[in-house]
Structure 1
Amino acid sequence: MPGLHRTPARFGRLGGWVEGLPEVRLYAALALTSWVSLTLLVGLGSGAPVERAIVQGFVEQEALSDLGSPNLPHQTSPWTALLGVALVVAVEMGMAWYFLRRFGARIFKDNAATRLVLTASLMILFTALARLFLELGLDPYLTPLAGLSIIGTMLLGPRLTFLMAVMASVNVGIMGGNDFLLSSALLLVSGFAVYAVVRVGSRQQLLGAGLVVAGAMAAVAFAVGLIGGASFPAALWLGALGFGNGLLSLGLALVLLPLLEDAFNVLTPMKLLEISDPGTPLMMRLLERAPGTFTHSILVGVLAENAAERIGANAMLARGGGYYHDIGKMEHPAYFIENQIARANPHANLSPALSARIIKRHVEDGLKIGRAWGLPQEILDIIAQHHGTTRIEYFYRKALEESAEVGEADFRYNTGLPRSKEAGIVMLADSVEATVKALSKPTPERVEDVVRETIKRKLDDGQLDACELTVREIHQVGDAIREALTGFLGPRIQYPDGSRDPNGARPKGGQTAKPATRTSGEPG
């Protein structure tokens, strides 16, 4: 179907291009580029970075001259200042290197190269922005450094972003003439911004958090003005500049976040909320091409979300993974039973091995479609891992009936075991939902049996061995899925023809309906 495997935009392919570069060369080039760029941005410009040191030197020189001491140099060489800045930046990068060695595995679970490039890009971008403000003669308290904290927290997490905020605050203070109060104010508010947005889940919440950050910057700037000896009106003006700083930081975050999300394919809560909408173009393609799979996927997403909430996992990621886990079935929808309504089963004319190969292929097709449509890596991982290495039991047993020599590996998925809690949850929700749907009379007791047997089978087969789920959490997930499925399978009263429709409308003419005959499974 045209557009099913669309080519991603050039801007959106940046992350994939970065991941394809040789790691050693990439990291070396990234370190050198960052060191040179930050050194030049901080150390060069119309305003000398050691302005206050020079003034202090003049004061000391005058005092010593009065005592008859030898004359001191009347100015510091810009190259000496640049060397000092280069050393400071080198120390900052050394701190970052040690930090990433210590915590990098927790921060960069996937796409480490892409996230490192993003980190360096943000540091250089906001340092360049601070330099631009100074060159334009704007007050340094307008430097929107809180925007770095907002964007960094949403894209990279709070730990690394706080380190970036410390480094950037020191650098801006140096650029502002070794202004300790400026560095302190920017550091306080940047740190506050990290924790103000760390749990933001929508753009409306981001807007509210940004306004709080703007208020905090106004208060800190006003306080710094008083500490620095400014008059009350001057301190109020400084507070107004701080509030403008916060608004400017928020505006930058709102503009840059969507661009950086797409360019580096980073999953943020806002992006996850958007792609978890069943009305996205890709989900509409799934509905058009494979309506049975669409219905199955929506239900799996709801079950996975409910289970993730039960154990404190990322419920929105579990829901999104459930929605997209079977998008590969769009390629050959007729080969999957949920799409065979009023259709002949094409597997009737195929060998079990060929049928299994077609069934397995939907995972690879899903990854191709997901990459083409720019789905985040976390969703792609769930697509790849939602079957683990499970055996396609129906066709495996059919093959055993036809031949004694059957290669079991030909009937197992091979795209990897679930590694995240959310991937494990989607695996269980997918298996339970499909099994329950096959029951002729799905009573609560039978649903409970299905959940229990599914969990036992997955554990015995080692499908959850690489998953972050504990045994206790696995059983909690099963309970949540069972409770939700039992609610979905609740009975409906069967109304006689012409009496009352399901919406409660009475028959015309005021006729009284005869009592309906109770159907099996209906409450007494």
Structure 2
Amino acid sequence: MFKTAKKLFTSLKFNYFSLFIISLVAIGLFSFMYDSVKQETYELHEFKISPKTIRSLKTIEDTVKTEQEKRRIENEVTPFYQFDEEVSKTRQAIAASLFDFIIEEKKANIPDPENPDKLVKSRSEQIEEVRNKFKKLEKEEPGLRLTDEAIASLLTAEVSDLTKMKQEIVSIIGEELSKPVRSEDLSAVRYEVERKLRSSEAVPPAELQTMITLGRSLVVETETINKELTDKRIEEEKNAVEPTRILQGQVIVREGQFIDSEIYRQLELTGLLTNQSSYKPMIGLILYVLFVSAIIYLHFATWRTDNYQKKKSLLIAIAVFFILVIIMKLLSLIDKEFDVQVAFLFPTALAPLLVKLLLNERLAYMMTIVTAATAGIMLLEGFSAIMQMEIALYILFGGVISIYLLGNNGRRSNILRTSLVVSVSNILFVAFYLQMTQSTYDLSELSFYLIAAFASGILSGALTIGLMPFFESFFGILSDMRLIELSNPNHPLLKKVLTETPGTYHHSVMVANLADAACESVGANGLLARVGSYYHDIGKTVRPNFFIENQHGNLNPHDELPPEKSRDIIIAHATDGAELLTKHKMPREIIDIARQHHGTSFLKFFFVKAKELGQDVIEDDFRYPGPKPQTKEIAIISIADSVEAAVRTIKEPTPDKIAKLVNSIITSKLNDGQFDECELSMKELRKVERVICETLNGFYHSRIEYPE
């Protein structure tokens, strides 16, 4: 079954494989995160007692309260009053016109000198005449009223008295209406007009009541409301009203409190009742999961490497991610039991450390961002609306710092050193968080947060070291720690090389030194090259005496063998080595080095020997089966292997001789197309050539002759 799964894994196209795996990831992630975003609701009834204290889970505008506040403001806004100076002049003119009508009528009704008691017009005719003239004023001023008795009383007064009364009332009205008079001031002003008329000597007692009636009717508002400006002011004041909000975390009802209509309305508004289950959080979570899935897919789809490596890397990244999600879930479950944020215990650097050590730095950054965002949602505490931002930033900063500090050194000591620095970084972030919250914390809470921040960093390193062997074993990953273990001279295969082929062992160590230095100069994996070099010729242990470095004396078995047989033995050490390493379940990278380090190189010595014996042979029959080096590390090992073997043949090696030899070997391999399938550039080849020469010059430097 395992073989079938492996075959399916290898044959399935990456696009289909990634879509299938990421779909499973999306379903799993949604299942883990749903409880974190699902809004809690309560089965409550109006006019009942609340069984618990309930707070709002979000900030929302209370439109009813906002509208009530606007209506209150509208009622309280001071109207915009406008004073009209013309009102006083108009009322004075009306008063003067009235008296002019009376005086004019009196003058027109002069008695006959021969019969003084006989008037031209009767009194009723005079009243009717004055009334007709006064009608126009009454239409324009509905409040202005004079009875027939009042007109008759004025008609009996002397013209001189009428003139004085006219002047007096015009003066009083002008004085009182020259000031702002509002509707609420009318009674007071009318009273003041009456008081002045009563105390005036210009008003005869017989006409006083008529004058008071007339004076009071002449008093009107001089300062009225400007509706347009008032409405504008009301609108401005209403627009300035801040919306009334129910704040996130605000207590809506306390335990044991009676749920009246207003409280029930607020519970409905905030969606806290069981009959108001919202689909918004679910839709939002689906969108988030799709977003994360798209990021993961795009990362791997744009990664330029072979499909097998991408598939394996995808599974590793997903495995790491779900380990972190499980940790988040556990923390979210226990967080409710404490008054402090247990989320600060989350190992901030675990994701980037594992992913960078197992895969690469680019993927480590992506996983750090996705982990931080997911933790911000899953580790929600209290009443955060979308995510716990301080937790997301805490994980993001800790993760980024760990990536920078780890570098390319995957040794345990470096991982622990990195985790210690991450702990310090976490402590600094927690200190920043505690200061920004502006809350008061007691000593036990402060101690917890500091210990949690420190433990987070240490846990990151400890879990990384603890989980690495499982990933390496299950996925067949070659990490730095695994390489260091393989470089131990006590490893069974290295012991085999040392005891059975000591010459090959020495040769391998020399090749390792050359390859390591050269790889580091071009940014390749020097540690992989060193360890791979230790094992690259392990196939020679099958027939050790057929390789010159293991031969003693002048006996060479190849002298007694035909060229074809010698060819087969020499070529077989590459495939024998690969098979031996496969049998011992060595990493694929080490096996590839053993199989590819000769590429399709030409065994010229035995080809020429066969030609000299008169055999009809072709060049391709005397080439290694390959494949050609597929990586920079294997190409550099192939150069180092050839150079180290060839430099032994130089008598009294000098820097010039070494440089010419190295250049000729590299040029020969380049012309033979041995570097066609790896990403080693010409610029990098020149660096490799220079570093190998420098290293060899260190090996073969001149020595002082000591006296006997």
Matched, 1:224 2:433: yes
CA pair 14-51 structure 1, distance change in 2 beyond 3 A? farther
CA contact (8 A) 1:172 1:183 kept: yes
Partner of 1:159: 362
Distance in 2 (CA, whole Å) between partners of 1:364 and 1:267 is 21
CA pair 463-242 structure 1, distance change in 2 beyond 3 A? same
Matched, 1:392 2:603: yes
Give 1:52-67 correspondences, 5 Å limit.
56=56, 60=60, 64=64
Letter in 1 for 2:21: L
Partner of 1:307: 518
CA pair 487-387 structure 1, distance change in 2 beyond 3 A? same
CA pair 276-19 structure 1, distance change in 2 beyond 3 A? farther
Match of 1:36 among 6, 27, 37: 27
Give 1:155-194 correspondences, 5 Å limit.
155-177=358-380, 178-194=387-403
Deviation of residue 494 (structure 1)? 7.6
Match of 1:95 among 288, 292, 295: 295
Distance in 2 (CA, whole Å) between partners of 1:354 and 1:95 is 56
Distance in 1 (CA, whole Å) between partners of 2:684 and 2:37 is 59
CA contact (8 A) 1:202 1:270 kept: yes
Partner of 1:125: 323
Which piece of structure 1 moves more, 316-325 or 21-30?
Answer: 21-30
TM-score by length of 1: 0.82
Matched, 1:259 2:250: no
Distance in 2 (CA, whole Å) between partners of 1:425 and 1:147 is 33
Deviation of residue 282 (structure 1)? 1.8
Give 1:15-30 correspondences, 5 Å limit.
20=10, 22-23=12-13, 26-30=17-21
Letter in 2 for 1:316: L
CA pair 281-249 structure 1, distance change in 2 beyond 3 A? same
* SS of residue paired to 1:463: coil
Deviation of residue 316 (structure 1)? 2.1
Partner of 2:346: 143
CA pair 335-77 structure 1, distance change in 2 beyond 3 A? farther
CA contact (8 A) 1:19 1:111 kept: no
CA RMSD of aligned residues (A): 3.3
1:117-156, Cα deviation, whole Å (9 max, x unpaired): 1011111111011102222347122122421122112112
CA pair 27-100 structure 1, distance change in 2 beyond 3 A? closer
Deviation of residue 212 (structure 1)? 0.6
* SS of residue paired to 1:413: coil
* SS of residue paired to 2:680: coil
CA pair 228-41 structure 1, distance change in 2 beyond 3 A? same
The unaligned stretches of length 5 or more in structure 2 are 42-53, 69-261, 381-386
Deviation of residue 235 (structure 1)? 5.3
Match of 2:407 among 198, 212, 216: 198
Partner of 1:85: 285
Distance in 1 (CA, whole Å) between partners of 2:297 and 2:376 is 22
Give 1:86-485 correspondences, 5 Å limit.
86-102=286-302, 104-105=303-304, 111-137=309-335, 139-177=342-380, 178-233=387-442, 234=445, 237-342=448-553, 344-403=555-614, 405-439=616-650, 441-485=652-696
Letter in 2 for 1:22: L
Deviation of residue 380 (structure 1)? 3.0
Distance in 1 (CA, whole Å) between partners of 2:537 and 2:5 is 24
Distance in 2 (CA, whole Å) between partners of 1:489 and 1:158 is 39
Distance in 2 (CA, whole Å) between partners of 1:443 and 1:229 is 73
The unaligned stretches of length 5 or more in structure 1 are 1-10, 496-514, 517-524
CA contact (8 A) 2:357 2:410 kept: no
CA contact (8 A) 1:389 1:412 kept: yes
* SS of residue paired to 1:111: helix
Partner of 2:93: none
Distance in 2 (CA, whole Å) between partners of 1:329 and 1:156 is 32
CA pair 111-77 structure 1, distance change in 2 beyond 3 A? same
Distance in 2 (CA, whole Å) between partners of 1:209 and 1:18 is 39
Letter in 1 for 2:297: W
Which piece of structure 1 moves more, 35-44 or 258-267?
Answer: 258-267
CA contact (8 A) 1:158 1:194 kept: yes
Distance in 2 (CA, whole Å) between partners of 1:165 and 1:331 is 48
Distance in 1 (CA, whole Å) between partners of 2:409 and 2:307 is 21
* SS of residue paired to 1:465: coil
CA pair 399-145 structure 1, distance change in 2 beyond 3 A? same
CA contact (8 A) 1:19 1:114 kept: no
* SS of residue paired to 1:144: coil
Distance in 2 (CA, whole Å) between partners of 1:494 and 1:293 is 29
Letter in 2 for 1:246: G
Distance in 1 (CA, whole Å) between partners of 2:403 and 2:38 is 27
Deviation of residue 375 (structure 1)? 3.4
- Structure exhibiting the larger radius of gyration computed from Cα positions: 2
1:322-375, Cα deviation, whole Å (9 max, x unpaired): 222111112222222222225843333433223212211211122222233343
1:463-521, Cα deviation, whole Å (9 max, x unpaired): 223333333432332333233334333466788xxxxxxxxxxxxxxxxxxx64xxxxx
Distance in 1 (CA, whole Å) between partners of 2:4 and 2:415 is 26
Deviation of residue 230 (structure 1)? 2.7
CA contact (8 A) 2:37 2:282 kept: no
Distance in 2 (CA, whole Å) between partners of 1:117 and 1:246 is 25
Deviation of residue 445 (structure 1)? 4.4
Partner of 1:522: none
CA contact (8 A) 2:22 2:297 kept: no
CA contact (8 A) 2:532 2:590 kept: yes
CA pair 432-36 structure 1, distance change in 2 beyond 3 A? same
Distance in 1 (CA, whole Å) between partners of 2:594 and 2:39 is 55
Deviation of residue 276 (structure 1)? 3.0
1:165-221, Cα deviation, whole Å (9 max, x unpaired): 222222222122332222222222222222222333421111111011011112212
Which piece of structure 1 moves more, 179-188 or 309-318?
Answer: 309-318
Letter in 1 for 2:372: S
Number of residue-to-residue matches in the alignment = 482
Deviation of residue 302 (structure 1)? 1.2
Letter in 2 for 1:485: L
Distance in 1 (CA, whole Å) between partners of 2:24 and 2:323 is 13
Distance in 1 (CA, whole Å) between partners of 2:538 and 2:278 is 60
Distance in 2 (CA, whole Å) between partners of 1:216 and 1:101 is 34
* SS of residue paired to 2:349: helix
1:274-332, Cα deviation, whole Å (9 max, x unpaired): 32344433211111222211111111111222333444443222222222211111222
CA pair 343-278 structure 1, distance change in 2 beyond 3 A? farther
Give 1:71-82 correspondences, 5 Å limit.
71-72=268-269, 73-75=271-273, 77=277, 81-82=281-282
Distance in 1 (CA, whole Å) between partners of 2:272 and 2:521 is 69
Deviation of residue 404 (structure 1)? 5.0
